[in-house]
Amino acid sequence: MGFATDAIHAGVRPDPATGAVMTPIYQTSTYVYDGLGRGKGYDYARTINPTRSALEENLAALEGGKAAYAFASGMSAIHAVTALLKAGDHVVVGNNVYGGTYRLFSKVLEDFGLRFTYVDTSRLENIETALDPSTRMVYIETPTNPMMILTDIAAVARLCRSKNLISVVDNTFLTPCFQKPLALGADIVVHSTTKFLNGHSDSVGGAAIMAQAAHAERIKFVQNSAGAILSPFDSWLVLRGIKTLPLRMRQHDASGRVLADWLTRHPKISKVYYPGLKDHPQHALASRQASGFGGMISFLLADRVDVTRFFDSLKLCALAESLGGVETLVCQPSTMTHASIPPEERQRLGLTDRLARISVGCEDVEDLIADLDRALASA
């Protein structure tokens, strides 16, 4: 089936009890047995829940994986994936991953004996150089948040296969609508479903989708053991959100292109980071490994712009963390989403207080331009 058909139908079947077309919210903690040793395949809702299962089947179909598991947040999905490792193992990580991922790795998991080396994964040789005999995993985000740097997924996957390493890709920014890491050879995809997959800024969740049955089996075991499951209601919200994912992504992408182009021509903007721009250094890779550029744009406010005034003057664009909703959100990554990255590392990446990030929503793009134009004029 085509992607839009799968988005609407995969994992979703009329409810066997009533024929309800929409998967019900099975708000239950447990299930009755027909008799001793005779259950219906459902025992306890931490282990399995029909609403969550429908979402998981849907996600596995969209990403082209063997199995998917839905978690309480993107971070808990990422945490579960690291449970494939053991003390002493080493991971090579992109040096511009989401701040919360960096915090989990550096401030939590290092205490459990895992080691992490952060490199610019846009250059394959940086990954090769960072490998050591205990390296077990390469973890990348592409495009990165917020610098919009790309990594060649197929090249990383090939390298990992040749060295028997697990390749993990955070696909939150582009979603399987535009980018399919498993088809490019990666082993595991992680998502913050909080973002584009749910798309309505009303649920926090995450997912891990595995290409290999052995990884899937272990992640399922970890999820059941640690218990960071997505609730039935949130599972239902994400399943519902995904039905319009292709429509929404098309709009995010179309408006993203228009807005990025407009920003490049604005005299108070000194640089625009958007893979859809022809002068983005990895525009060719972006066109090759993804079928859209999406709605995430970062831009640098020129020196003469009063940064605080710019953010404070926005009216339609909400000043807020997070991304991927139908409403446009703008943030200052250095003080908001990426505050947990050490200041010298932020400086090195170019992640200064002058950098703004916009998650372009589905409003009329003319209204977004008018709002940004007014805020820039007053700053």
Which of 98, 102, 118, 274 does the annotation list as catalytic? Answer: 98
Distance CA 210, CA 69 (A): 9
Quick one: 177 or 305, whose CB is closer to ligand PLP?
177
Q: Quick check: 82 binds ligand PLP (CB under 6 A)?
A: no
Q: Which helix (H) or strand (E) holds 312?
A: helix 307-313
Residue in 49, 96, 121, 172 binding ligand PLP, rule: CB under 6 A: 172
The distance between the two most distant Cα atoms of the chain, rounded to a whole number of Å, is 75
Residue pair 72/99 in contact (Cβ under 8 Å)? The answer is no
Quick one: 171 or 313, whose CB is closer to ligand PLP?
171
Least CB distance from residue 358 to ligand PLP, whole Å? 14
Least CB distance from residue 341 to ligand PLP, whole Å? 13
Distance CA 253, CA 251 (A): 5
Which of 170, 187, 234, 371 does the annotation list as catalytic? Answer: 170
Q: Quick check: 359 binds ligand PLP (CB under 6 A)?
A: no
Least CB distance from residue 192 to ligand PLP, whole Å? 3
Our answer to whether residue 136 is catalytic in this structure is no
Residue number, nearest CB to ligand PLP = 74
77-104 CB burial, b ≥16 within 10 A, e <16 = bbbbbbebbeeebbbbbbbbbbbbbbeb
Quick one: 79 or 220, whose CB is closer to ligand PLP?
79
Quick one: 270 or 322, whose CB is closer to ligand PLP?
322
Q: What is the dihedral of CA 249, 253, 259, 263, to 10 degrees?
A: 120
Our answer to whether residue 353 is catalytic in this structure is no
CA 208, 213, 215, 217 torsion-angle sign: positive
Distance CA 314, CA 308 (A): 11
Least CB distance from residue 342 to ligand PLP, whole Å? 18
Quick one: 11 or 294, whose CB is closer to ligand PLP?
294
Distance CA 328, CA 87 (A): 42
Which of 6, 15, 31, 46 does the annotation list as catalytic? Answer: 46
Collapsing DSSP to helix, strand or coil, 358 comes out as: strand
Least CB distance from residue 198 to ligand PLP, whole Å? 9
Distance CA 27, CA 9 (A): 22
Site for ligand PLP in 141-170 (CB under 6 A): 141, 145, 170
Site for ligand PLP in 177-216 (CB under 6 A): 192, 194, 204, 206
Least CB distance from residue 14 to ligand PLP, whole Å? 30
Piece in contact with ligand PLP (CB under 6 A), picked from 71-79, 128-136, 311-319, 325-333: 71-79
Our answer to whether residue 195 is catalytic in this structure is yes
Whole-Å CA distances, 305 to 20, 122, 301, 309, 359: 55, 31, 6, 8, 21
Strands of 32-163 (E only): list them. 67-71, 90-94, 115-119, 135-141
Strands of 213-274 (E only): list them. 269-273
Place of tokens 């740097």: 149
Our answer to whether residue 98 is catalytic in this structure is yes
Residue in 26, 69, 98, 236 binding ligand PLP, rule: CB under 6 A: 98
Residue in 75, 272, 351, 358 binding ligand PLP, rule: CB under 6 A: 75
Phi–psi pair at 267, nearest 5 degrees: -65, -20
Which of 195, 220, 257, 346 does the annotation list as catalytic? Answer: 195
Quick one: 239 or 379, whose CB is closer to ligand PLP?
239
Quick one: 145 or 231, whose CB is closer to ligand PLP?
145
Per CB under 6 A, residues contacting ligand PLP are 73-75, 98, 100-101, 141, 145, 170, 172, 192, 194, 204, 206
Q: Catalytic positions, please?
A: 46, 98, 170, 195
